[in-house]
Copies of this chain bind each other. A is one copy, B any other.
Amino acid sequence: MTVAVIPIPGLPLVKPGDDLAVLLGDAIEAARVGMKPRDVVAVCQKVVSKAEGAVVRLADVTPSAFAVHLASRTESGKDPRAVEVVLRETQRIVRMDRGHVICETRHGWVCANAGVDESNGVAPEVLTLLPRDADASAAALAERLRARFGVELAVVVTDTFGRPWREGLVEVALGCAGMEPLFDLRGRADLTGRTLHHTIVALADEIAAAAGLVMEKDSGVAAAIVRGVRYTPGQTGAASALVRSAAFDLFR
């Protein structure tokens, strides 16, 4: 079955306190693409964070001595207060070199600058943080959108992450509700009858990446509907299942 990745434009610049479920539902209605059973609504983390007030004003931040030291070592001359915000969001620094800080966040995500972002902010000098609990954000949005459109659907909250060894950024899933984020093929036979031993597909991440094809940062498209994906519906779906536990991770 063909999968359609439908951009949902028309979300206004979201502010803290805005009701994102209403804004998103309005944008979907305005796009006149309907909402079908098993649709996945992908929405980028930044509008979720802004609506939830997960933002920090630099004016309210006093940098620690360590943040001042780190900032002084960046080539671009980073604001020590921005570095301080990154450190506050960080559970563990995984790598720190050449002006880059790769952090493990409170949630277990490993990403640059602990997901703290200066672009498309609510105002100059305001940084956005990752949502406190993107799975809960996704679940709340899914519930409201289900009620409004009257169909079963899933929600994936996405963010743009770099990867080791590979150039460029891809959209990944930070939050997930209404579907199993992992699609488990173990135990099924491949085409030659051999059992597929190791194949667990990170379906929510592939959906996020597909949504990334239409959610361009410079075009103001912060949401998409991904229609036609074969997924397992479920309330247990939560993108935290995509965090590899440290015990099984060769790279922590």
Residues on A lying within 8 angstroms of B by beta carbon are 1-7, 13, 76, 95, 97-98, 100, 102, 109-110, 118-121, 123-124, 160, 163-172, 181-183, 185, 188-192, 194, 196-203, 205-207, 209-210, 212-214, 216-218, 220, 226, 229-230, 241-244, 248-252
Q: Find chain B residues with CB under 8 A from A76 CB.
A: 197
Instruction: Decide: A166 and B214 in contact? CB cutoff 8 A.
Output: no
Assuming the contacts A160-B199, A209-B210, asked whether A166 and B171 have C-beta atoms less than 8 A apart, the reply is no
A188 CB, min distance to chain B CBs, angstroms:
5
Complex: how many Å from CA A216 to CA B189? 12
Instruction: Decide: B119 and A190 in contact? CB cutoff 8 A.
Output: yes
Q: CB-nearest residue of chain B relative to A229?
A: B213
Instruction: Decide: B172 and A166 in contact? CB cutoff 8 A.
Output: yes
Complex: how many Å from CA A86 to CA B77? 44
Q: CB-nearest residue of chain B relative to A249?
A: B165
Instruction: Decide: A164 and B5 in contact? CB cutoff 8 A.
Output: no
Assuming the contacts A3-B4, A170-B202, asked whether A165 and B252 have C-beta atoms less than 8 A apart, the reply is yes
Q: Find chain B residues with CB under 8 A from A217 CB.
A: 185, 190, 196, 199
What are some 27 contacts across the A-B interface (CB < 8 A)?
Answer: A2-B7, A2-B214, A3-B213, A4-B5, A119-B190, A119-B192, A119-B199, A120-B190, A121-B192, A160-B201, A164-B244, A165-B252, A166-B172, A167-B182, A167-B242, A169-B201, A170-B201, A170-B205, A170-B209, A185-B218, A188-B218, A190-B217, A191-B220, A201-B216, A205-B209, A206-B212, A251-B251
